[in-house]
A and B are shown apart, each in its own frame.
Chain A
Amino acid sequence: MRPEKNSDVSTCASLGDDYNHHGGNGVLRLIIPANDRSVRRGLQTIKSSMSNLSLSQDDWSTVELVIAEVLNNIVKHAYSASDTGLIEAHLNYSKETLDCTIIDTGHSMPNGEIPKGAQIDLTCDIADLPEGGFGWLLIHQLTRELNYARRANQNTLSFRLPFATEH
């Protein structure tokens, strides 16, 4: 049995210092254990490393939400909340866009494809309202160039987030 570990021991963040001094561009490679608390801390690391972009609140909230949804899905579904896997995130950002690639070695997506995340009908009785299924809906609405590949027991999800706001 693995001891319950909530410390940041397996988190490795390497900032691309060579890039960081040129117009706010940067790269970040982050490896976190697949559990909810590490996802929360990983998002904090991403926020700090992207702070030099001075993103608007609106742009940052989209980055945080999309990455949170992708990571939560991996914790919950790819690794079935077993708390034994790792998640690797590569971020490449400029003042205009964030390109993000997220890799895990958990289960494949259902049917080997990205769930559609269609809008759910909410004109129903309160008792029948869905309590889940919003994650992919949000990811599809907010990302561009969303791609998924399954190779050699590894899931790779990539997407782009354009920053709308001038800053």
Chain B
Amino acid sequence: MKLNHKDFDNARLVTICENRIDAVCAIQFKDEMRKLTDAGPRRVVLDMSQVEFLDSSGLGAVVAALKAKKAEQTLELASLQPAVQKVFHLTRMDTVFAIHDNATSAMAGVADAS
């Protein structure tokens, strides 16, 4: 499970460098995300563009990440592939998360912190 991140002004962009979030790696994903939100700024945006497959355990891990964020933080999603979007839609989790078309639009107007 590899998650990359890049910090901007008051925002952290986390990129999932895996093509599957499934039962094999869901717990590890949840733990890694927790570290990144704990130490993260007010906004955390999760770029899912590389994720081709997400099952219910993967979805549960993304929900767990949302629940583990700090109260003053937001966890937003970006760039859901159709197979991933389908899972969010069928479970109506697309009504719970802020979902951006892509990472670029999610970070539009945010200054690079590095």
- Chain A residues at the B interface, C-beta cutoff of 8 Å: 36-37, 39-40, 57-58, 61-62, 64-65, 68-69, 72, 75-76, 119-120, 122, 126-127, 129-132, 134-135, 137-138, 141-142
When distances are taken between beta carbons in the complex, the residues of chain A under 8 Å from B66 are 126, 129
Q: Is the CB of B56 within 8 A of A58?
A: no
Taking a contact as CB atoms under 8 Å apart, the answer to whether A131 and B90 are in contact is no
- A138–B56 contact, CB under 8 A? yes
**Interface size of B as a range:** 20 to 34
Given contacts A119-B92, A122-B96, A142-B90, contact A40 B24 (CB under 8 A): yes
A119–B24 CA distance with the chains assembled, in angstroms: 25
Complex formed: what's the CA distance from A77 to B96 in Å?
Answer: 28
* Least Cβ–Cβ distance between A121 and chain B, in angstroms: 10
A69 to B53, CA, bound (A): 12
Let me know if B92 and A132 touch, CB within 8 A. Answer: no
Separation of A68 and B56 alpha carbons in the complex (Å): 9
Cα–Cα, bound, A54→B66 (Å): 37
Flag if A122 contacts B23 (CB, 8 Å).
no
Question: Are the CB atoms of B53 and A138 closer together than 8 Å?
Answer: no
Cα–Cα distance between A63 and B56 once the two chains are bound (Å): 14
Q: Is the interface of B mostly helix, strand, loop or mixed?
A: helix
Give the Cβ gap from A116 to chain B, nearest Cβ, in Å: 15
Complex Cα distance, B61 from A12, in Å, reads 31
Min C-beta distance of B85 to chain A, whole Å: 10
Some 5 contacts from A to B, beta carbons below 8 A apart, are A68-B55, A129-B66, A131-B67, A134-B91, A141-B90
Q: A37-B24, A40-B20, A57-B83 are in contact. Are A131 and B95 (CB under 8 A)?
A: no
Contacts of A134 in B (CB 8 A): 56, 59-60, 87, 91
Bound CA span A68–B59, Å: 13
Question: In this assembly, does B57 line the interface, its C-beta being within 8 Å of a C-beta of chain A?
Answer: yes
Shortest distance between the CB of B78 and any CB in chain A (Å): 19
B64 at interface by CB-CB < 8 Å: yes
Check if B82 sits within 8 Å of A61, measured CB to CB: yes
> Chain A residues with Cβ under 8 A from B110's Cβ?
none
**From residue 92 to 111 of chain B, which have CB atoms closer than 8 A to chain A?**
92-93, 95-96
Sample of 20 further A-B pairs with CB below 8 A, known A39-B23, A64-B53, A65-B86: A36-B22, A40-B20, A58-B82, A58-B86, A61-B83, A61-B86, A68-B22, A68-B55, A69-B56, A72-B57, A75-B23, A119-B91, A120-B91, A126-B66, A129-B66, A132-B56, A134-B56, A137-B56, A138-B56, A138-B91
